[in-house]
Amino acid sequence: MDEQGTSYIELLCVLLIINILAALILPKLTMIDKTSLDYEARYLVSDLRWMQEQSIYRMNGNAKFNRIEFDTMPKLVMDQNPESGYVIFQGSNIVKQHTFTKPITIPTNYVNVRFTIDGRMNPPRTIYLYKGHERLAVIIDVAGRIRIEKP
């Protein structure tokens, strides 16, 4: 007897193979989500450290530092639109603009971030990056140390 079609055993074998493949692939997809949040936090920290270095550089060797030059130091302005991100200004010029990947948001009340001439931050700031239920904190303490923590 030669039957055309599939048996239940064949169907179960195919479903088993699909489940095994899904079990191998899905954890990697969730790791990609975590790495994108970590990537954006590291990108923000990198830009903050650049701003800090620029602030220190402008003061070194400049005994006649005045208020006009302070206004040309880098300032990071948070953008809380649906496409959240930030813009770095130096004076009135836009030096850099960055938009976070789609699901990442920054619900913060800090309008801008600017370092003092010695690279310090007064008052200290904490910038939270959210992606769904996950959250990372970019912390800038009074001494100017910038770090990422998972609260």
Average pLDDT score over residue span 79-95: 82
pTM: 0.72
Q: 131, 149, 127, 133: which is closest to 48 by C-alpha?
A: 127
Q: Grade residue 28 by pLDDT with cuts at 50, 70 and 90.
A: low
In the chain, what are the domain boundaries? 8-149
Instruction: Determine the CATH number of domain 8-149.
Output: 3.55.40.10
pLDDT, one tens digit per residue, over 35-81 is 788 999 999 999 999 999 888 877 665 555 555 566 678 888 887 66
For residues 43 and 123, give the distance between their C-alpha atoms in angstroms, rounded to a whole number: 22
Q: Please say whether the dihedral angle defined by the alpha carbons of residues 119, 91, 101 and 123, taken in this order, is positive or negative.
A: positive
